[in-house]
Amino acid sequence: MAKKKRSFARAPTRKLMKKSGLNLVARNAVDTMIQNNEDIVTSLTKKALGFAKHAKRKKITKDDIGLAIKFR
């Protein structure tokens, strides 16, 4: 089985999870969190792109991302 290329690294993700008070974090838990983060970022980016296109722009701005989060 080929390895899937991840957009987020395991170590920083694990570190963020541990900051929430976890002592031990399983590798599959980190992988699940990474997949979830990738899904959220992809979804928000698509929505932000819709806002940018509506404004007749090609570049996504901070405001577009803010709107995408607000209207999630």
> Residue 23: its pLDDT value, please?
87
Q: What is the CATH number of the domain that holds 43?
A: 1.10.20.10
Model confidence pLDDT, tens digit, residues 59-70: 999 999 999 999
3 state DSSP class of 26 = coil
Question: Whole-model pTM?
Answer: 0.82
**Any domain includes 5:** no
Instruction: Give me the number of domains the chain comprises.
Output: 1
pLDDT score at 5: 78
In a domain, 54, yes or no: yes
In which domain, by residue range, is 26 found? 10-70
Whole-angstrom CA distances from 47 to 19, 24, 50, 52 are 30, 35, 5, 9
Flag whether 3 is in a domain: no
Dihedral, CA of residue 21, residue 23, residue 9 and residue 36, to nearest 10: -60
pLDDT of residue 26: 94
Q: How is residue 27 written in tokens?
A: 């590798």
For residue 7, the model assigns a pLDDT of 86
